Amino acid sequence: MLLERTNLVNALLRERLKATTEEELLAAVRTLLAQDGEARAAIQQRINHGTDSGYNHFDIDLLETNRIFHINQLKSICIDYRLRFLDSHLLKSHVPEEAISRIKKLETEHNTVLKGFKIMAPSKQFYLENYDDPLLFAPIGNDYYYLIHKWGNDLSPYRKLLVRPFRNAGSLLLLLATISMLFALLIADNPFNKVEKDLFVLLAFLFIFKSLCGVALYYCFWRGKNFNIAIWNNEYYNK
């Protein structure tokens, strides 16, 4: 007579019955899930409401060096891509569960409670305040930050180029001057033009450049816009 093949699931169930009843097992699982839920809710609370903290108690031996960034590096990327680096409580969307799990894991490994979370993202991802009235970071200390989690889509490969004119005043003036010169050269070939070409190009350039500067200045005041270098860590939309 051939012996039946062993069903590992049934073997595991028999082994479990030696240690605990189903009622005891379910009670233990309920307690575990309740504790996990409370821990995750506490993390979400710290993210949503924010806490003033310039550092966290990390175990330096457990940190991954490719996740450590200085504030100057974060600032440079924000300026290049017109992003903001702000407190997590200003974030419009919910932080994904993967990020919560990552925070919980880090807190367990480092035996600490993380706080002072920061988010690097485009302005539209934040609730920005009126001055008149997804990367998740935690501070390490001394202007260093630890990257906890990244979610969402990557930035467009053209974003850096498209926002380059708004990096600072010099970048915008260079763009306006380039556009003005191109327009001046285009209209200089007008057959009805009786003025010396070089003089006409200069006069046309100055007129177009002044007009574009006026339009740009009006737009900035009207829409409350500012340069990348001024907004990267600013929680107001019109300052």
Residue scoring higher pLDDT (237 or 30): 30
Say yes or no to pLDDT of 78 above 80. Answer: yes
DSSP for 59-113 reads -GGG--GGGEEEHHHHHHHHHHHT-EEEEGGGBSSPPPHHHHHHHHHHHHHHTS-
Q: Which two tokens mark 44?
A: 């979400």
Q: Label residue 239 by pLDDT band (50, 70, 90).
A: low
Average pLDDT, the chain: 81
Q: Label residue 103 by pLDDT band (50, 70, 90).
A: very high
| Residues 204 and 183 sit within 8 Å (Cβ to Cβ) | yes
For residue range 152-205, list pLDDT tens digits in order.
777 788 888 888 888 888 888 998 999 899 988 888 776 556 667 777 788 888
Name the packing angle between helices 197-223 and 169-187 (round to 10°): 140
Of 78-87, 111-120, 157-166, minimum mean pLDDT range = 157-166
Say yes or no to pLDDT of 6 above 90. Answer: no
Say yes or no to pLDDT of 76 above 70. Answer: yes
Tokens 């924010």 sit at which residue?
50
Say yes or no to pLDDT of 133 above 60. Answer: no
For residue range 55-69, list pLDDT tens digits in order.
899 998 999 988 999
| Residues 183 and 209 sit within 8 Å (Cβ to Cβ) | no
| Residues 140 and 146 sit within 8 Å (Cβ to Cβ) | yes
